[in-house]
Structure 1
Amino acid sequence: MKRKLTVGAALSATVILASAVQFGAGTAQAAPAPVSGKGSTFQRAELKALAQSYAPVVAKALGLGSAEALVAKDAVIDASGAKHLRFERTYSGLSVIGGDLVAHLTLNGKVSSVDRAVETTVALADLTPAVPAEKAAKQATGAVQATVGQTIDKDESPLKAITGTGSPTLVVWAQSGAPRLAYQTVVEGVREDGAPSAQNLVTDAATGEVLASHEQYLASAATGSGKGVHVGSVTLTTNYTGSTYELKDPTRGNTRTAGLGGGTSGNGTLFTDADNVWGNGLASNSQSAAVDAQYGAVATWDYYKNSFNRLGIRNDGVGALSRVHYGSNYVNAFWSDSCFCMTYGDGSGNSKPLTAIDVSGHEMTHGVTANTAGLVYSGESGGLNEATSDIFGTMVEWSANLAADPGDYLIGEKININGNGTPLRYMDKPSKDGASKDSWYSGVGNVDVHYSSGVANHFFYLLSEGSGAKVINGVSYNSPTSNGSTVVGIGRTKAAAIWYRALTVYFTSTTNYKAARTATLKAASDLYGATSTEYKTVAAAWSAVNV
C-alpha cells in the first residue's frame, strides 16, 4: 500500500494485517489508563486471547453464518472495563477483504454496538475459481505491465520493470459490490528512481477483472551525544558491546539505525562508533543523517508511550530499524511493514537527507495505522490514513521540543523539498500548498490522498488551536472555516487523544469522513463526556470543514 510523504514516499508493505493490542482511556476526563506489570508482550498475547474468546459471542450477535469466523486483531480495554475488540473475518477459511469490524462490549460482556467496514452479508454458493491460479498470476502481471513507463502521480517516478509475481491467494472480496471469490496477488517491481514497488491486486476469480489495486513496498545502554542535520545537538541512548558503541537503543526495543551506503536492499550496516559522539551536523558526514533518523525513531517511540502507553509501532515492545543513505539522489522516505523498517534517501545532490523529525513521525505512524484501523489507502479512507500520519508526525515534533526544529503545524518544512523554503503541507489552511483541500465536498475521495488529507488536517488544527489569525511558537497562522463560524480550540494534546482513540477503537478499513466525524465524537464522549466542551468542539470543527 503506497504511503508517500513526498516524491513517491511513505511506503508500506504486505497486506497490512497484523495483531496489536493496546490499552486506551475510557472514562470522562481521564487520560489513557496505564499498563501495569512487566512488558507488554505477555499482556498483548493475553489480551489477544481474551478478544478471541469473545469471537463466538460477537459472531452470534451479528448473525454470522457457520462458514464465517472472526479472528482477533486488536483490543482496547477502557479503564472502566468496557472492551473494544477488533476482528478480521474469514469465510470458509478465506480472508474477507472489507470484513473487518470493531465490537464494543459492555462491562458484563454483552455486545452493545458494532462498527463494520461494510454491512454486506457474505454468502457464496461456490468457492471454486473459474480462473486457475496460474492464469490469475499472468493477468495480474499483465495489468501491472501495462503501467510500466507511466507516471500515475506527478511527483512519482514511473515503474521501470517487473521483477516477480507472488502466488495468488484466494480471498473473498466484499469491499464494494456483491461479495465474490477473488485472488489477491502481489506483483513486485522497481521504479526508475530505484524505489522498490509492490502492486497488490485483487482480481475476480471468475472473470479476471481487476477489482482493486494499490502499491505497497516491499549489550548495555550508554549515553552518547549526536549532532544531526535537522535535529541539531541531541542526547542518544546507545548500546556498548564492551569494545564499541552501537547506534541501537536497548531501552526502546533495540530501535536502531543502519547505513545502506547508496544501496537499495538489505538491512544495511549498523552504525558503530569508538567514542559515542555521533555526527557533526553536516550531510557530508554519514553519521549526521543517522543521528536524525535514530532520534526521530526514539522520539516517535517516546511520544506514543508517554501519550498512550503504546510500546512501539505494533505495541509489542519491539523497536524498528531505520535505514539511511538509500540509493543516490533519492528524494524520498518510506516506511515498510515487511521489513519493519524506516528508510530515508539523501535528497537532491545527496546533500539534503529527508530525516526531519516530523517525517519520521509521519512515516512510522503509517505502521501504527496498519496495526490498528488498517485504513485503506484510497478514497476518503486514504485521506484519513495520510492525515493520521500528518497529525501524529506533528505531535511527535511538538513533543520533542527541539531548539533546532520547534513544534509547528507545517509538514516537512525542514527538508525543503520544494526548494523555496516552503513546507509540503499546511494544517491551518491546507490549500496554501496549491493542491490540498480545506473542506469536504462530494468528490474529495477522488483526489490524491495527500491532498484529500487536507480536510482532516484542517479539522485537527481547528480542534487544537481554533480559527482565525494567530502566532503560535513563532509561526503565523490564519485558519478559515467553510461555514464562517468561529472555533475555539481545545489544545493539541486533547485533540490528539481524541484522534488516537477514534483510530484504535472506532475506525475501520473503510472509514470515510462522515464516519470519522461520528467516531471522533464517540471518542470525545468517552474521554471527556457527551456534554463536554471537547465534544462540542469536535462537532464544531468538523462542521467548519463541511463534514
Structure 2
Amino acid sequence: MKKFTLLLSIGLFFTFMLKAEEILRGAKANQKIENAELIRYKEGVGAPVFIRFQKDKGPLASHLSAWLDQHYGTNGSFTFTTIIEEEDQKGFTHIKMQQLVGGIVVEHAILKAHVLNGRVHSMNGYVLVDPVFTSHLLSEAQSLEGALNKIRASSYKWEIAGEEQHLKMMTNNPNASYYPVGEKVFLPAAMDFTSQKLIPCYKFDIYAHEPIYRADVYVSAITGEVVFEDMTIKHVDSMGTAVTSFSGTQSITTNYNSVSGTFSLSETGRGNGIRTYDMLNTTNTNNAVSFSNTTNFWKDTLRYRYATDAHWGAEMVYDYYMTVHNRNSLDNNGFALISYVHYGSGYNNAFWNGTAMHYGDGSGSSLPYTTLDICGHEVSHGLTSNTADLVYQYEPGALNESFSDIFGCAIEISVKPNAVKNWLMGEDRGNHIRNMGNPNQKADPDTYLGTYWATGTADNGGVHTNSGVQNYWFYLLTLGGSGTNDNNDVFSVAGLGVAKSEAIAFRNLTVYLTPSSDYSDARFYSIESAIDLFGPCSPEMESTENAWYAVGVGPAYTPGVVSDFSATRTEACVLPAEIGFINLCNNNAQTFIWDFGDGQTSTAENPVHIYRTPGTYTVK
C-alpha cells in the first residue's frame, strides 16, 4: 500500500511583544483555546485579557454561560452576572459582565463579550481565576465610622435638610437620601489584578458639603481602614436666542410657562431633559433656582452671564453624541444633563459630581469654566462613568482625563467647524489649561514615561498631567505628523481627520476598556477598534499603531500577516483523499492563496482539496 503524506509549510512573521505582555496567534492560540485566532495575556494575570475567535467560529452567544463554565470554572468559586447589553452601528452586541465571588461583587473585575451574527467575535476584561478571600468581619456601621474618621469633613450633604429635600425632588423619589449605605464588595488588593487576593470591603458613596468632596470610599471589613477612594468629583421646548459670553449669539431651547408667562433655561426635547440652575453663589443645591426671563432673548446680563454658555454647551454635547455617535446621552438612555451655575463665592473651577455639572464664577481676573470645550470635557466624564468607568487614579485616571479632553475638543470642532483649531483646552477663558498638540508647553508629557511624566500620589497619581500622552496620540492620529520622541524613536503618522479619529477613540472607550485599563490596554483596544471600523491592514489601523509608537507605547506598524494553518489529517492510505485545511491566520489576512503541492491552488479561506495520486506534498 502506498502512503500519502502532507508536509505543512508554515510561514512565520516576526511579532513584536510589548513588555509584560504576551500575544498568541494562529495555531498557538487555537491550541490554547479552541477556535481562537489571537489571545492576549498580561504579566501576572492568570486569565487571558483578550480573546479573538476565528471568523464565525466563536461560541454561540446563547451558549456563552456554558462556555464560561468550561473555560473559567464559573460553576465553582465565582460567577458572572450581566450588567448591560448594547448594540452598535456595526451590528455588534456588547455584553458587559461583572464577576462575583460568593455572590458578592468583585470591584472592577469586568468581562466583555462582543457578539456578531449570534457568535462571540471577541472577549476582553480582567478576571480573577483563583480568588483568595476572607469573610466580612466588621459591620456596616463600624466601617462607615472608619470612612468618616478618614474624611473628616465639616459637613455632609445628608446633614443639610435642604440638600436632602432637593435630592428627593430631582430624583422624584421620596426615599432618596445622601446618607451612605454600605455595599458589601471585594476589592483586589492594591487594585492589582496580578494578585488573587481580595479585600472584603464596604463601599460607601460619601458626599461632603464642606469642603466639597464625593467619592466611592472602600473600607476594609477586617481593619476598618479606608483602602481606596475612587473620586466621583472630577474637576475641571421653545426656541430662544442667547448672547453667550464665550460663543457669541446662539439658538437655545427653553421652556415656556404659560401661567407665569416666563421662559426658563430648561427643555425636554433632548433625552430626559437639559436644565440649568442658578446657585446664587451658594454651595447648597437646595438654594438653586431656575433662570427665568420674560422674553426668549437672553442678553449677556450679569445674572444670565455664563448660564447661557452652560445651557447651550449642554445642548451641543447632547447633539454631538447623538449625531456623531448615535448615543442617547451619557448612558444611551437619555441621561438628563443638569448644570448648576454661579456655584460658591469666588470658586475658580468646574466639576462633575457624578450626576450634574457645577460651575464657579472664577476669582479675580479668572473667568468661569463654561467654555464649550470644558463643558464637553466635564460632561464626558459622565460618558466614561457609564461605559469604561475608568478608576480615577494613575494610568486609568489619566486615560479618564484624556478621553474628556478628546471629546471636549471634538465637540468644539464639530460645533464650531470654522473656528481656529488650536488644540487648546479652555483657551476662550484667556488662558488655556492644556495643549493637546504640544503637551510639553504646559509641562505635560507627550511620551509615555518621558519628560514631565508625573510620578507619586499627587493629583491621584498625575491624572491631569499624564493625560498628555493620549492627548498627543489623538492629535497625531487626527492631523498626522513626524518627529523624534523622548525615546529617540523617529516616527511618522498619516493623519485620519477628526471623524475617523473620534470614532476610534469612542469605540475604544465605550466598547473595550474596563475600570483598570492602562496605556498598553488603550493602545491594544484602539487598534482593535480601528480593525472593527475600517478593517485589518487598513490605513486607519496603520495610523493608529504609528500614533501610539510616536508617544512611546508599543512598536510602529509593520505590514504583514502571521501565516498559519492546520489540516484535518496529514496522512491517508486510501485515494482519492479529501483533506480540509483550516486557516489560522490572524484576521489581518483578507485574501488567500493556497498551494497544495500537486499543481493545484485555491483562493478560498478554508479550502477542501482532493489528492488523487500517492506521494508526499508540501502545502503552502
Alignment-derived partner of residue 511 in structure 1: 517
**Distance change in 2, residues 1:427/1:58 (3 Å):** farther
Tell me how far 1:190 sits from its aligned partner: 4.2
Distance in 2 (CA, whole Å) between partners of 1:95 and 1:508 is 15
Query: What SS does the aligned partner of 2:246 have?
Result: coil
Task: Give the aligned residue type for 1:509.
Answer: P
Q: 2:446 aligns with which of 430, 438, 450?
A: 438
Distance in 2 (CA, whole Å) between partners of 1:348 and 1:328 is 8
Distance in 1 (CA, whole Å) between partners of 2:359 and 2:102 is 42
With 208-217 and 248-257 compared, the bigger mean Cα shift is at 208-217
Task: Give the aligned residue type for 1:212.
Answer: F
Task: Give the aligned residue type for 2:351.
Answer: F
Q: 1:235 aligns with which of 247, 251, 256?
A: 251
| 1:107-506 → structure 2 map (5 Å cutoff) | 107-109=117-119, 111-122=120-131, 124=133, 126-127=134-135, 129-145=136-152, 166-174=180-188, 175-176=191-192, 177=195, 178-191=197-210, 196-217=212-233, 221-242=237-258, 243-253=261-271, 254-266=273-285, 268-280=288-300, 285-337=302-354, 340-349=355-364, 352-401=367-416, 406-416=420-430, 421=431, 423-434=432-443, 436-441=444-449, 446=456, 447-467=461-481, 483-506=489-512
Q: For the Cα contact (< 8 Å) 1:429–1:480, is it kept in 2?
A: no
| 1:57-72 → structure 2 map (5 Å cutoff) | 57=66, 59-60=68-69, 61-66=71-76, 68-72=78-82
Tell me how far 1:92 sits from its aligned partner: 3.0
Q: Deviations over 1:398-417 (max 9, x none)?
A: 111177x654311111224x
Query: What SS does the aligned partner of 2:277 have?
Result: strand
Q: For the Cα contact (< 8 Å) 2:147–2:225, is it kept in 1?
A: no
Query: What SS does the aligned partner of 1:322 have?
Result: strand
Q: 1:73 aligns with which of 73, 83, 96?
A: 83
Tell me how far 1:139 sits from its aligned partner: 2.3
Task: Give the aligned residue type for 1:173.
Answer: L
Distance in 2 (CA, whole Å) between partners of 1:489 and 1:380 is 25
Distance in 2 (CA, whole Å) between partners of 1:351 and 1:425 is 16
Distance in 1 (CA, whole Å) between partners of 2:205 and 2:93 is 35
Query: What SS does the aligned partner of 1:388 have?
Result: helix
Tell me how far 1:119 sits from its aligned partner: 4.1
Tell me how far 1:429 sits from its aligned partner: 1.6
Q: Deviations over 1:126-172 (max 9, x none)?
A: 53x23333332232223334xxxxxxxxxxxxx76667773433211
Tell me how far 1:440 sits from its aligned partner: 0.6
Distance in 1 (CA, whole Å) between partners of 2:62 and 2:362 is 49
Distance in 2 (CA, whole Å) between partners of 1:67 and 1:530 is 38
Query: What SS does the aligned partner of 1:457 have?
Result: helix
Distance in 1 (CA, whole Å) between partners of 2:475 and 2:145 is 47
**Distance change in 2, residues 1:510/1:118 (3 Å):** farther
**Distance change in 2, residues 1:235/1:95 (3 Å):** same
Distance in 1 (CA, whole Å) between partners of 2:299 and 2:365 is 16
**Distance change in 2, residues 1:80/1:190 (3 Å):** closer
Q: For the Cα contact (< 8 Å) 1:429–1:479, is it kept in 2?
A: no
**Distance change in 2, residues 1:317/1:130 (3 Å):** closer
Query: What SS does the aligned partner of 1:291 have?
Result: helix
> How many residues of Structure 1 are paired with residues of Structure 2 in the alignment?
456
Alignment-derived partner of residue 87 in structure 1: 97
Alignment-derived partner of residue 3 in structure 1: none
Query: What SS does the aligned partner of 1:137 have?
Result: helix
Query: What SS does the aligned partner of 2:100 have?
Result: strand
Tell me how far 1:96 sits from its aligned partner: 1.2
Tell me how far 1:228 sits from its aligned partner: 1.0
Q: Deviations over 1:416-444 (max 9, x none)?
A: 4xxxx3x100111211102x111112975
Q: For the Cα contact (< 8 Å) 1:257–1:294, is it kept in 2?
A: yes
Distance in 2 (CA, whole Å) between partners of 1:58 and 1:100 is 17
Tell me how far 1:99 sits from its aligned partner: 1.4
Q: For the Cα contact (< 8 Å) 2:274–2:315, is it kept in 1?
A: yes
Query: What SS does the aligned partner of 1:451 have?
Result: coil
Q: For the Cα contact (< 8 Å) 1:120–1:179, is it kept in 2?
A: no
**Distance change in 2, residues 1:183/1:459 (3 Å):** same
Tell me how far 1:116 sits from its aligned partner: 1.4
Tell me how far 1:91 sits from its aligned partner: 2.6
Distance in 1 (CA, whole Å) between partners of 2:485 and 2:410 is 19
Distance in 2 (CA, whole Å) between partners of 1:166 and 1:246 is 33
Distance in 1 (CA, whole Å) between partners of 2:102 and 2:543 is 45
Normalising by structure 2, we get a TM-score of 0.68
Q: For the Cα contact (< 8 Å) 2:447–2:485, is it kept in 1?
A: no
Distance in 2 (CA, whole Å) between partners of 1:329 and 1:499 is 36
Distance in 2 (CA, whole Å) between partners of 1:58 and 1:408 is 50
Query: What SS does the aligned partner of 1:64 have?
Result: coil
Q: For the Cα contact (< 8 Å) 2:61–2:118, is it kept in 1?
A: no
Q: For the Cα contact (< 8 Å) 1:71–1:88, is it kept in 2?
A: yes
Q: For the Cα contact (< 8 Å) 2:90–2:533, is it kept in 1?
A: no
Alignment-derived partner of residue 42 in structure 1: none
Distance in 1 (CA, whole Å) between partners of 2:116 and 2:454 is 36
Distance in 2 (CA, whole Å) between partners of 1:373 and 1:54 is 25
Structure 1 residue runs without a partner (length 5+):
1-50, 146-158, 470-477
Q: Deviations over 1:375-415 (max 9, x none)?
A: 01111111100000000000111111177x65431111122
Normalising by structure 1, we get a TM-score of 0.77
**Distance change in 2, residues 1:489/1:191 (3 Å):** farther
Q: Deviations over 1:275-323 (max 9, x none)?
A: 100122x5xx211211100111011011111111111111112431111
Query: What SS does the aligned partner of 2:491 have?
Result: coil
**Distance change in 2, residues 1:351/1:465 (3 Å):** closer
**Distance change in 2, residues 1:350/1:89 (3 Å):** farther
Q: Deviations over 1:471-505 (max 9, x none)?
A: xxxxxxx9999622122211121111001011111
**Distance change in 2, residues 1:120/1:190 (3 Å):** farther
Q: For the Cα contact (< 8 Å) 2:270–2:318, is it kept in 1?
A: yes
Is the radius of gyration larger for structure 1 or structure 2? 2
Between the aligned residues of both structures, percent identity stands at: 31
Query: What SS does the aligned partner of 2:131 have?
Result: coil
Distance in 2 (CA, whole Å) between partners of 1:365 and 1:201 is 22
Tell me how far 1:256 sits from its aligned partner: 1.6
Tell me how far 1:460 sits from its aligned partner: 0.4
Q: For the Cα contact (< 8 Å) 1:481–1:544, is it kept in 2?
A: no
Task: Give the aligned residue type for 1:139.
Answer: G
Task: Give the aligned residue type for 2:255.
Answer: N
Tell me how far 1:186 sits from its aligned partner: 4.1
